[in-house]
């Protein structure tokens, strides 16, 4: 049977202290890492048990942004079509006015 070493001198105390530190420091780092992981987990699940995880929220936000992008592209296409239609209408009006002035000019001469 082994007995606990007798701490007679300061060298034995240093050895015991080093042994205690060698076992406690990794434990301290493990506890700290666990707390950090729990903090991150709390943010990922939004801190609520009945809420979806953050990834689901992120996927939903990305889908909404994509949908918004498609809608904006559709609005831009509508604006381009409207501008082309308006310019075409203006061109028709100019041609009509030019034709009428030309007919008026012929009547005058």
Give the predicted TM-score (pTM) of the model. Answer: 0.43
More confident call, 103 vs 1: 103
**pLDDT at position 81:** 95
pLDDT band at 49; cut points 50, 70, 90: low
Distances (CA, A) of 86 to 67, 73, 92, 94: 28, 20, 10, 12
Question: What per-residue string of b and e applies to 29-55 under the rule 16 or more CB within 10 Å gives b?
Answer: eeeeeeeeeeeeeeeeeeeeeeeeeee
pLDDT band at 62; cut points 50, 70, 90: very high
- Residues 74, 76, 79, 84, CA torsion sign: negative
pLDDT band at 4; cut points 50, 70, 90: low
**pLDDT at position 14:** 80
> Who's near 45: CB < 8 A, 6+ residues apart?
51, 53, 54
């Amino acid at each position: 049977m082994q007995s606990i070493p007798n701490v007679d001198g300061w060298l034995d105390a240093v050895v015991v202290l080093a042994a205690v530190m060698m076992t406690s420091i990794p434990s301290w780092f493990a506890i700290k890492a666990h707390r950090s992981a729990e903090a991150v987990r709390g943010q990922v699940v939004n801190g609520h048990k009945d809420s979806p995880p953050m990834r689901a929220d992120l996927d939903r936000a990305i889908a909404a942004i994509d949908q918004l992008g498609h809608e904006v592209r559709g609005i831009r296409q509508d604006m381009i079509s409207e501008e082309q239609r308006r310019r075409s209408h203006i061109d028709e009006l100019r041609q009509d006015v030019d034709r009428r002035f030309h007919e008026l000019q012929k009547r005058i001469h």
